[in-house]
Structure 1
Amino acid sequence: MITKMFSLLVLVMVLGTGGFAMIKKPVTLEGVWKFKVDPGNKGIQEQWYKSGFDRSQWLPIDVPAYWDRYNNLEAYDGAGWYFRTAEVKSVDLPLSIFFGGVDDDAEVWVNGIKVGSHTGYSDPFSLPIDHAVKEGRNEIVVRVNDNSGPGGIYKPVTIVPTDQISRLLRTKYAERSSRKSAAWVKEAVIYEVYLRSFSKEGTLKALESRIPELKKLGVTVVWLMPIHPVGAIKRKGPLGSPYSIQDYYAINPEFGTLDDFKSLVKSVHTQGLKIIIDLVANHTAWDNPMVKEHPEWFTHDSSGKIIPPNPDWTDVADLNYDQPALRNSMIAMMKYWVRDIGIDGYRCDVAELVPTNFWETARKELDAVKPVMMLSEGTLPEQYSKAFDLTYAWNMYDVLEKVISGSTPATIFHDLLKTESNQFPHRALRLRFNTNHDKNAWDGPAVEKFTPQGAKATNVLVFTYPGVPLIYNGEEAGNDRKLSLFEKVDIDWTKGNDFRNLFEELSQTRRNHPALQSGSYVPVHNSDSSTVLTFLRKSPNDMVLTVINFGSSTVTANLQLPYTGSGQWMDLFSKNILEMKKNNLDVTLAPLGYAVFIPQLKKK
């Protein structure tokens, strides 16, 4: 509980729910708000955020909560607008509005003035409201855009003194250390393979023949999307989603046989690489034998009917981890693929929908077989304690487009790491990416979303920013096709040599520079910080400087490096050498241009 924060009394009266509070500390905005769906995205054009707008017909809704709890909103994805009022008696000290979590994206207005926005469901965030808030009655409007699954303001909202934001952001896990990961995990370059699209044959054998090619690219860990047979009942599309698992112990006949998979594992290991597979532990296909043999292992509605995890995922049935026998069965299956087949770990689909204590037990038993990599498609800080090595950095992906468009400054990448340091344990590894199978299929290929040059610039960030980089198959060929999860779409491998060369250089740079694998991150000030991102990665005997121009114009940025000295810096791509005078370095970059420098200098 936060104690007295400031001497001047700030009086806030919350009117939306009839509540009244005298505060010297954060005030909750939990309770009943007004709400309206916006399936046609008319709200912005019609200015639903405007002060005094008529919202008398908007419906009541609880906050915090997903809007899916309401019967008529169970399957709704899209925009939804929230409204309430708050009366502030004093604005003598800075105030912010803090959101514990919004799914997925949020835009916020106070008194008709936009105070900011946030992209992505996984992180808490705050927005300063000093330029919009006033003494007396204030109108708060939040537009939430839900891309899929549950949506809404699902965690508490508070008005807080700005100087207390860091306390709200900091979790108990930030005081702890993550589990210790093997060196090959921390140093990994992960390559995600979607077998249907990777080759015309769409088989394990076709992938095996190209493992030397992946090694040359710089890959150290091969991740295969689900390799198991796909359910036929309630299938989506002609081939069905690979995340609808019919049999956890079998190989999808589309891809080949178990012997083919064993041969692939052997070839990967012969090349000195590791291999992990996708594990879908949250749900199964409707024709998985478990549905008939163990219906008690599944989630049921009030009528006793087995249900999907959410209304959108109609092709799968939700598993219930309250059942000890289910847990034992799933762990036995996980051990089989590690012990008997030889895989090196798992990427765990929607891992935060499965209890963390299940993952902790599973990890302990897997590590008794051999050291493994465990990658969570989730963002829960608690997963680092005993279960996972890596979690998804959705937060980084979510801001890439905004930075390139100019609506968010490049310094947001410094802020992301500050937020992560308040959320996650020490040494927590995050998976960095500019695309993956979900984002390619639903948002579009990276070359389409960011432009080809933007795809290159964002990959430079992925490989030099703290974390573990991911390459999605086809990115090395500049893939410009959406790779559907429900049918076969082949990657065009005939182009994109410039992308392949870039990945080879980035992988080699990461391999040769310990600073990029585990070094500290040091923000570097520059004269064009709204569009140009500059930072150092440092380890005791190594240093790398990254400079990326996310803007649409050529710029010469003056960098002020955080030490005094003179000397030269060499760009690892162009091999150009720049002279640093004292602590100043001038770098000229084209739109979406980049440079990665190593020092050729003696520090003073």
Structure 2
Amino acid sequence: MIIIKNTFKFKLSKIAVVLLGGLWLSACSEPKTVSTSNDTPLDNVATSTLKNVDSLPHYLQRNIQDEVFYFVMPDRFNNSDMTNDQGSKTDPISAGGFDKTDKGMYHGGDIQGLQAKLPYIKKMGVSAIWLTPIMRNQAIQGDSSGYHGYWILDFNEIDPHLGSNEDLKRFIDAAHKENIKVFFDIITNHTADVIKYVECHGEDGLQYLMKENDGCLYKSLAQVAAGDAYQPIIPKGQESLKSPAWLNDKKYYHNQGDTTYEGENSIYGDFSGLDDIDTDSPEVVRGMIDIFKNVISEFKPDGFRIDTVKHVNMAFWAEFAPALVNHAQEVGIPEFFMFGEVYSGDSEELSSFTTEGKMQSVLDFSMQFALQDTLIKQQGTDKLVELFERDHYYNDSDSNANQLLNFTGNHDMGRFAGMLKDSDLNYSEAAIIQRTLLAHAMVYFLRGVPIVYYGDEQGFVGDGGDKGARQDMMPSLVDSYNDDDLLANTKTTADDNFDENHLFYKTFAKYADVYYQYPALRFGEQKTLYAQDTPGVFAISRTLKDSDTMVVVFNTAKTAQPIELDLALSGAQKVYPASKSDEVNPNTLSVPALSFAIYKIK
């Protein structure tokens, strides 16, 4: 590992020389041009000619490290059945909340709409679709709706705004016929807000007596042990809203007031009133395992993303996660896979859930933060070295850092393009485009499994996190969405945004094409070849036994980076981008600004 301060000229290891010299045939003094495997400019290659999920093993036998994920919020994607826009026709608690002009309400997207767009998703090179929660929600809480899916009442049926259980099964069958996996987003930490506290909401549970505190103040374990506890109450007529029935019993909840997301209350407190499940209870552990065993048996998903993992006690995960994987394997899903949301940039904390907690993987927030450091804050590429030097924390008998899930942004923190737009560095649109594409390239080609957040492939930007990053792909009526200047085209979110000719869509399809062609880019052991403490070059190798070694070099600087070579070797073939040859003068190479290249070394 070499880190050079205040200079862009450096000497590299043997493998890096092969990378940066390209197809250097001999130690000659004349300038050489690196040959490419394809002289056709990549921008002119039709996405239909690129490798996609059809090139991969059958979905039932496919390893998680083969996947390219597409993370989608069904309500904001595509509306194929307008008859379900208002939700349930028989159950008022899950009805209503539809208002396409309000970013906090249902917008009409549904499972049938998602199924209709499977060709669009597949052509982009996606092999796995991750859905935000789809089980039946409480339609309205406060001034917002359950369009996002995180206010679950019934774990046995799909939310009627999205369709029926049979619609979901048809969608999964259709995806599987295209060799595409389907992952559900699940929740064990909480249910919808039904339980109230007499001290906060009155004897009937229908008042709000603590407005000055903006919630029911958390009561600690010590307070509860000393007898200072809230008196939980379920308002009249709401005693049987949840399913399965045991979830209606107040004794299966912590009932300690609202969390501040710090200390013990991050485990035992309610999220803005959402009923926090007592996952310390052996009965609850068994009950939650049974709930999701039934989900697996009925719908046959290929895996779960698990919400709010760090807000549930570790012992729960150590029992829950293996039980569900074992059950899935018993019912014929041998590669069933689960990854958790642990909102932390600390690799040691993240890895504790894959080792001690026995979860197969987690979303790699630490990598997302490193992408912010290097591509938004313009810190050195040594920030990536710091990240990858901590990968050993993930090593155990059944997992490693190659199985982490990489992403640039999401429905909570916002889009990477939006973070660039909001930066104090006042990036131009051209710079935002370059940096967003480079961030996605790192997600695809650094260790881990890539995720694309829906809309990123159409240049969506957004006004921040949460509701601000949950735009409609179908034509939107939300003013704060439609005033966005989308990247790399002239559209807004008021238009239909399923453009297969969009620069980002086509680029992600090409990333997937390369990703699928070379197993070392999915399974290879990663080694850092070069980094620096200023913006500039970050180079890695990916090595897999009995396979080609791949080398990827990124340049995060705003200018081309001259590289000094110390010897000439042969055997490197540039595989991306194939349209631009490297002009190599004796012992030097210029790496273009905010770009990357991939080389195959025999």
Tell me if both proteins adopt one fold, taking TM over 0.5 as the criterion: yes
Q: Which of 320, 330, 341 pairs up with 2:299?
A: 341
TM-score by length of 1: 0.62
Q: Which of 557, 560, 569 pairs up with 1:554?
A: 560
Are positions 1:504 and 2:509 aligned together? Answer: yes
Secondary structure at the aligned position of 1:444 is classed as helix
Partner in structure 2 of residue 363 of structure 1: 321
Go from structure 1 to structure 2 and tell me whether the alpha carbon gap of 1:406 and 1:294 turns closer, same or farther (over 3 Å shift).
closer
**Structure 2: distance between partners of 1:235 and 1:470:** 32
CA-CA distance at 1:580 after TM superposition: 7.2
Secondary structure at the aligned position of 1:301 is classed as coil
Q: Which of 579, 582, 588 pairs up with 1:575?
A: 579
CA-CA distance at 1:183 after TM superposition: 4.5
Partner in structure 2 of residue 515 of structure 1: 520
Partner in structure 1 of residue 339 of structure 2: 375
Q: Which of 571, 594, 597 pairs up with 1:595?
A: 597
**Structure 1: distance between partners of 2:166 and 2:439:** 38
Task: Give, as a single letter, the amino acid of the residue that structure 1 aligns with 2:462.
Answer: R
Greater CA deviation, 481-490 or 355-364?
A: 481-490
Partner in structure 2 of residue 127 of structure 1: none
Q: Higher relative CO (CA 8 A, sep ≥ 6), structure 1 or 2?
A: 2
**Mapping of residues 21-170 of structure 1, within 5 Å:** none
**Structure 2: distance between partners of 1:483 and 1:274:** 30
Partner in structure 1 of residue 418 of structure 2: 444
CA-CA distance at 1:319 after TM superposition: 0.8
Instruction: Check the 8 A contact 2:72/2:454 in 1, yes or no.
Output: yes
Go from structure 1 to structure 2 and tell me whether the alpha carbon gap of 1:413 and 1:528 turns closer, same or farther (over 3 Å shift).
closer
Q: Which of 470, 477, 487 pairs up with 2:458?
A: 477
Task: Give, as a single letter, the amino acid of the residue that structure 1 aligns with 2:277.
Answer: L
Partner in structure 1 of residue 95 of structure 2: none
CA-CA distance at 1:382 after TM superposition: 3.5
CA-CA distance at 1:298 after TM superposition: 0.4
Partner in structure 2 of residue 326 of structure 1: 284
Partner in structure 2 of residue 262 of structure 1: 169
Task: Give, as a single letter, the amino acid of the residue that structure 1 aligns with 2:579.
Answer: K
Are positions 1:273 and 2:180 aligned together? Answer: yes
Are positions 1:414 and 2:385 aligned together? Answer: yes
Secondary structure at the aligned position of 2:371 is classed as helix
Go from structure 1 to structure 2 and tell me whether the alpha carbon gap of 1:401 and 1:364 turns closer, same or farther (over 3 Å shift).
closer
Are positions 1:384 and 2:390 aligned together? Answer: no
Task: Give, as a single letter, the amino acid of the residue that structure 1 aligns with 2:149.
Answer: P
Task: Give, as a single letter, the amino acid of the residue that structure 2 aligns with 1:191.
Answer: Y
Greater CA deviation, 565-574 or 244-253?
A: 565-574
Partner in structure 1 of residue 68 of structure 2: 189
Instruction: Check the 8 A contact 1:406/1:531 in 2, yes or no.
Output: no
Task: Give, as a single letter, the amino acid of the residue that structure 1 aligns with 2:392.
Answer: S
Secondary structure at the aligned position of 1:524 is classed as strand
Where does structure 2 lack aligned partners over 5 or more consecutive residues?
Answer: 1-59, 80-107, 195-240, 259-264, 343-348, 424-430, 474-492
Task: Give, as a single letter, the amino acid of the residue that structure 2 aligns with 1:187.
Answer: D
How many pairs were matched up? 413
Go from structure 1 to structure 2 and tell me whether the alpha carbon gap of 1:396 and 1:340 turns closer, same or farther (over 3 Å shift).
same
TM-score by length of 2: 0.62
**Structure 2: distance between partners of 1:308 and 1:416:** 26
Q: Which of 287, 293, 301 pairs up with 2:256?
A: 301
Go from structure 1 to structure 2 and tell me whether the alpha carbon gap of 1:245 and 1:471 turns closer, same or farther (over 3 Å shift).
same
Instruction: Check the 8 A contact 1:532/1:557 in 2, yes or no.
Output: no
**Structure 2: distance between partners of 1:542 and 1:224:** 35
**Structure 2: distance between partners of 1:526 and 1:441:** 26
Instruction: Check the 8 A contact 2:554/2:597 in 1, yes or no.
Output: yes
Partner in structure 2 of residue 566 of structure 1: 570
CA-CA distance at 1:462 after TM superposition: 0.7
**Structure 1: distance between partners of 2:555 and 2:543:** 21
Partner in structure 1 of residue 442 of structure 2: 461
CA-CA distance at 1:581 after TM superposition: 8.9
Instruction: Check the 8 A contact 1:448/1:480 in 2, yes or no.
Output: no
Task: Give, as a single letter, the amino acid of the residue that structure 1 aligns with 2:125.
Answer: G
Secondary structure at the aligned position of 1:358 is classed as helix
Are positions 1:205 and 2:164 aligned together? Answer: no
Instruction: Check the 8 A contact 1:219/1:507 in 2, yes or no.
Output: yes
1:496-527, Cα deviation, whole Å (9 max, x unpaired): 71111111111111111111111121222378
**Structure 1: distance between partners of 2:374 and 2:311:** 30
1:544-584, Cα deviation, whole Å (9 max, x unpaired): 22222212223333467xx97235432422433447799x6
Where does structure 1 lack aligned partners over 5 or more consecutive residues?
Answer: 1-180
**Mapping of residues 207-246 of structure 1, within 5 Å:** 207-232=114-139, 234-235=141-142, 237-239=144-146, 241-246=148-153
Percentage identity across aligned positions?
A: 22
Higher strand fraction (1 or 2): 1
Go from structure 1 to structure 2 and tell me whether the alpha carbon gap of 1:246 and 1:594 turns closer, same or farther (over 3 Å shift).
same
Go from structure 1 to structure 2 and tell me whether the alpha carbon gap of 1:302 and 1:364 turns closer, same or farther (over 3 Å shift).
closer
Task: Give, as a single letter, the amino acid of the residue that structure 1 aligns with 2:78.
Answer: S
Instruction: Check the 8 A contact 2:138/2:146 in 1, yes or no.
Output: no
**Structure 1: distance between partners of 2:113 and 2:147:** 21
Instruction: Check the 8 A contact 2:373/2:383 in 1, yes or no.
Output: no
**Structure 1: distance between partners of 2:524 and 2:416:** 34
Task: Give, as a single letter, the amino acid of the residue that structure 1 aligns with 2:408.
Answer: N
